[in-house]
Chains A and B, each alone.
Chain A
Amino acid sequence: MRRLNPFQRRDTLSDALAASLDALASGASVDECLRRFPTHAEALRPLLEAARQLHAYGERAVPSPAARARARSELLARAAARQPAPIVPHPAVHRRGWLALAPAAMAAVVFAAVAVPLLGALDSGAIPGDWNYGLKRAGERVQLALTTDPADRRLLRLEFARRRLTEIEQLAQHGRVDTRANVVTTLVHDYTQDMQQVQRQVAAAPIVDSSTKQALDKTTQQAQEVLPQIAQSAPPPVVAAAQTAQSVTVEVKQTADTLATADKRGGARPQAAQTQQAQPPAADQSAVQLTPQPTPSPTPATPSPTASAPPTSTPTPAPATPPPPQRTQPAGEATPELRPDQRLPAVLTTPAPQIPTNVPTPSTPSPATAPPVVAAAPSSSATPQVVPAADATPMGSATTPAPVTPSATVPATPTSAATRPVTALTPAPTTPPIALHAGDNIVRYTGEPIRLDALLGPILPNVVFVDYADAAGVPHRWYPGTSAPLIGPTNGVMIVRVRADTTLTLP
């Protein structure tokens, strides 16, 4: 057996002790612990005995019922007086006014002027655990705080997101994903938050500029390389976080691609229904269209038999790949212009879909899971994958407008009979219910402005809070019971946190 020097021995003994103490706390016996660490048994036994006596000492402390009741009632009284505040200024602002922050502000300016360039230079590939990692992150926060231009902020966020991916990759290369699962989970979470911020800012921006587009492509590509690796072999919390991150990456990419395509076409951003209708819709329950649907118009298009079996996009390709549906369309019909309030696809998080690239993948229709009405459930996640061959314009290739062909062009009316089965003439419900899962859900509302509490209506008791960004991209948090903001097309991207699974039907 390899001999250990005294320091190594103490390390392993302290590890064995820690593991034994945890085992004892879980109900294991001393003998079981000693059997688990036979080489340390002799040294461990007296230590565990001392621990047991110490534990017995702590256990003897008993609070008086009166004090306990007093503390509880005092706590609940404070809780009743407390208003869950969304985002409040620093308490000092309330107490003493802005003047109180003057020294801090001056220090921040000096720090920023002197240290930011230095900290920028310190973006040296420091990873969690390195001495300068805290400085690196602090530098990022300062950089972000000092950047006011929305486009620059987007680029910064994307850069930070890529840094998180690089850090995750480096931790993985050092084999520290298992041992530092908490750190990796936090990094993935930070990446996800950055991407969600980018999504909000992109949705609120008047145009998706090329630098944002390039940065987003770069980030997506890196995410595609890093996240699936993590999702394969990491501990469960990391896997869950990585899957969410993949899902958010897909959404951000699709949102940006959709908007970029529309901007290239001349400023009118596409309606979700139009984009999605050119493609087979997804049966994924998270694929929802929050924009109020117009009622179907009796367009005299000839229904195609194949269109009545709408295919669906799934994150993993199905083995059977029926041919894409052929849709009849009056020749030469142009891509319709869209109402501004119908420009964005509804987005809801989906578990770990494939991250789309600019190269479209042939669809994998699955009639068994297809919804009955083609136009009723367009999916943001289906966008890049399910484009039929004839109109396979990738969402990201904004410079290549979709070719207009008789077999593939989209009808102007989102619920045209050409895309519906026999039941097409029956008016579809205006908005399908959206499945919300316990926890955070990204929801997009692009209808007429409405108060948030009215929008959420019957599920309000189930809502913990809603995060949303205003038109300027400034994040806010709203709690039920407080004054509700107006939600409309300019600030309709929300994160709705619910306590339990539920469904939301929008007005």
Chain B
Amino acid sequence: MQEGPETAGARRDTPQDGFRAVGDNRSAAPDARDEQTLVRAAKAGDREAIGALFDLHYTSVFRFLFVRTGRQEDAEDLAQEVFIRMIAALDRYQERGIPFRAWLMQIAANLARDFYRRRGARPVAASIDAPGFDLPADDDPQEMAETALTLRDVIAALDCLTPAEREVVDLRFGADLSVAETAAALGKTENTVKQLTFKALNKLRKALR
């Protein structure tokens, strides 16, 4: 069975270039064929396959919900609910529709929207002091402080985004979804997702100057 993304040791240093450092264990998009096989087996009731799908996607789902809700506890509760809904709706999932990961994130995005609707609030960014937010345990205190400051700036800058931009950013950079997956998860066109990403990053760039 496929090893879950969390089973290997985690690397916490910030990559200096590119998104992925060596040994990065973020849940990258799984091979589509393997994932389809897992999904088919899961649909047929194979518990091992269901567990493997959980291992494959839990971190992405959690991260997306964490950046949406800003609270570890809420993100964990919602992530659990995402997978419970997944198992309930698995029979209705069709491979030829949207990629499984996007489908899962669609559930997560809907749950997050419900979450905010119930609370009458808008998405908030996490504080770097919040539980669940893992700052790099660097040896160099100065570097640690700089990273913390940068992250504080990023978190503050997220407030300048519109809800649509924020949702796209959370999926693209929180859950690590591709443009196509983000478009499928949000029911938007790929072009719209590209535009929203561009606008969001432009705003962030200005805010982070």
Task: Enumerate chain A interface residues (CB-CB to B < 8 A).
Answer: 10, 13-15, 17-18, 21-22, 24-31, 46-47, 49-64, 67-68, 70-72, 74-76, 78-80, 82-85, 88, 185-186, 189, 464-465, 479-481, 497, 499
Residues of A within 8 A of B141 (CB): none
- Contacts A63-B76, A499-B41: A78 and B154 contacting too (C-beta < 8 A)? no
- Contacts A50-B208, A57-B155, A57-B173: A27 and B50 contacting too (C-beta < 8 A)? no
- Which one of A54, A55, A63 lies within 8 Å of B75 (CB-CB)? A63
- Which one of A13, A64, A83 lies within 8 Å of B132 (CB-CB)? A64
Besides A22-B178, A79-B87, 20 new A-B residue pairs in contact (Cβ under 8 A), listed by A number: A14-B197, A30-B17, A31-B17, A47-B202, A47-B205, A52-B15, A54-B173, A58-B170, A59-B63, A60-B133, A61-B62, A61-B67, A62-B10, A71-B80, A74-B80, A74-B83, A75-B54, A76-B47, A78-B87, A85-B91
Residues of A within 8 A of B15 (CB): 52, 56
Contact A27–B20 (Cβ < 8 Å): yes
- Which one of A68, A82, A499 lies within 8 Å of B6 (CB-CB)? A68
Q: Which residue of A lies closest to B29 (CB)?
A: A25
User: For the complex, what is the distance from the CA of A17 to the CA of B190, rounded to whole Å?
Assistant: 13
- Contacts A31-B17, A57-B151: A51 and B62 contacting too (C-beta < 8 A)? no
Residues of B within 8 A of A84 (CB): 43-45, 91
Task: Enumerate chain B interface residues (CB-CB to A < 8 A).
Answer: 6, 10, 14-15, 17-20, 26, 28, 37, 40-45, 47, 50-51, 54-55, 58-59, 62-63, 66-67, 72, 75-76, 79-80, 83-84, 86-88, 91, 96, 125-126, 128, 131-135, 147, 150-151, 153-155, 169-170, 172-176, 178-179, 193-195, 197-198, 201-202, 204-205, 208
Q: Could you name 12 residue pairs across A and B whose Cβ atoms are closer than 8 Å?
A: A13-B198, A30-B18, A49-B205, A50-B208, A53-B151, A56-B154, A60-B133, A60-B134, A61-B66, A61-B174, A68-B76, A82-B87
Residues of B within 8 A of A26 (CB): 20
User: For the complex, what is the distance from the CA of A18 to the CA of B182, rounded to whole Å?
Assistant: 12
* Chain A min CB distance to B102 (Å): 12
- Which one of A53, A76, A83 lies within 8 Å of B154 (CB-CB)? A53
Question: Which of B6, B20, B42, B128 counts the most A-chain CB atoms under 10 A from its CB?
Answer: B20
Contact B132–A61 (Cβ < 8 Å): yes
Residues of A within 8 A of B28 (CB): 25
- Contacts A49-B205, A63-B75: A80 and B44 contacting too (C-beta < 8 A)? no
User: For the complex, what is the distance from the CA of A267 to the CA of B174, rounded to whole Å?
Assistant: 65
Residues of B within 8 A of A17 (CB): 194, 197-198, 201
Residues of A within 8 A of B84 (CB): 74-75, 78
User: For the complex, what is the distance from the CA of A67 to the CA of B83, rounded to whole Å?
Assistant: 13
User: For the complex, what is the distance from the CA of A49 to the CA of B154, rounded to whole Å?
Assistant: 11
Give me the 10 closest cross-chain CB pairs, A-B, nearest first.
Answer: A67-B76, A14-B198, A61-B66, A71-B80, A58-B174, A29-B17, A63-B62, A50-B204, A54-B173, A84-B45
* Chain A min CB distance to B22 (Å): 9
User: For the complex, what is the distance from the CA of A58 to the CA of B43, rounded to whole Å?
Assistant: 31
User: For the complex, what is the distance from the CA of A328 to the CA of B56, rounded to whole Å?
Assistant: 64
Contact B201–A464 (Cβ < 8 Å): no
Q: Which residue of B lies closest to A83 (CB)?
A: B45
Contact A54–B154 (Cβ < 8 Å): yes
- Contacts A13-B198, A14-B194, A464-B40: A25 and B19 contacting too (C-beta < 8 A)? yes
* Chain A min CB distance to B138 (Å): 13
User: For the complex, what is the distance from the CA of A82 to the CA of B47, rounded to whole Å?
Assistant: 10
- Which one of B37, B47, B51, B132 lies within 8 Å of A62 (CB-CB)? B132
Residues of B within 8 A of A464 (CB): 40-41, 43-44
Residues of A within 8 A of B41 (CB): 464, 499
* Chain B min CB distance to A168 (Å): 15
User: For the complex, what is the distance from the CA of A76 to the CA of B50, rounded to whole Å?
Assistant: 7
Residues of A within 8 A of B20 (CB): 25-27
Contact B198–A10 (Cβ < 8 Å): yes
Contact B40–A51 (Cβ < 8 Å): no
Q: Which residue of A lies closest to B130 (CB)?
A: A61
Contact B45–A58 (Cβ < 8 Å): no
Contact B50–A79 (Cβ < 8 Å): yes
Residues of B within 8 A of A80 (CB): 47
Question: Which of A30, A55, A80, A84 counts the most B-chain CB atoms under 10 A from its CB?
Answer: A55
Contact A61–B75 (Cβ < 8 Å): yes
* Chain A min CB distance to B96 (Å): 5
- Which one of B54, B151, B194 lies within 8 Å of A15 (CB-CB)? B194
Q: Which residue of A lies closest to B82 (CB)?
A: A71
Contact A18–B179 (Cβ < 8 Å): yes
* Chain B min CB distance to A456 (Å): 13
Contact B134–A62 (Cβ < 8 Å): yes
Question: Which of B14, B47, B201 counts the most A-chain CB atoms under 10 A from its CB?
Answer: B201
Question: Which of A64, A67, A78 counts the most B-chain CB atoms under 10 A from its CB?
Answer: A67
Q: Which residue of B lies closest to A189 (CB)?
A: B96
Residues of B within 8 A of A88 (CB): 91
User: For the complex, what is the distance from the CA of A56 to the CA of B19, rounded to whole Å?
Assistant: 8
- Which one of B19, B54, B169, B197 lies within 8 Å of A18 (CB-CB)? B197
User: For the complex, what is the distance from the CA of A123 to the CA of B181, rounded to whole Å?
Assistant: 31
Residues of B within 8 A of A71 (CB): 54, 58, 76, 79-80, 83
